[in-house]
Amino acid sequence: MIPDRLIAADAPVGNMGFLQELAGRVEEVAAAGGKFADAFVRTAGATVSSALVFMEREIGYAQKAAKKHGGEKAEGRTGPNRK
């Protein structure tokens, strides 16, 4: 078994002091992990949102181009002759 003094050097002697110190450290780690997760989710959300906006614009440009050239047939592009 690991002695208390190696895990929580500044914890008061006794089980309750050790457990309280350990609980405090677990809380700190959880809070730090929560902040990291929050920042990660916000960053990923912003990235995905930007990508969706970009795709929407590109689709809009393609639709405009298709409408502009809708009446014209693509000349000069011929496939293989099939009989």
Smallest CA-to-CA distance from 26 within 10, 1, 9, 7 is with 7
Measured torsion, CA atoms of residues 26, 32, 34, 36, in degrees rounded to the nearest 10: -150
Instruction: State the pLDDT at residue 81.
Output: 64
CA–CA gap between residue 81 and residue 83 (Å, rounded): 7
Query: Which of 18 and 57 is assigned the larger pLDDT?
Result: 57
CA–CA gap between residue 55 and residue 19 (Å, rounded): 53
Instruction: State the pLDDT at residue 28.
Output: 85
Q: What's the rounded mean pLDDT across residues 35-42?
A: 85
Give the start-to-end residue ranges of the domains of the chain: 10-66
Q: What's the rounded mean pLDDT across residues 14-39?
A: 81
pTM of the model: 0.42
Query: Which of 83 and 27 is assigned the larger pLDDT?
Result: 27
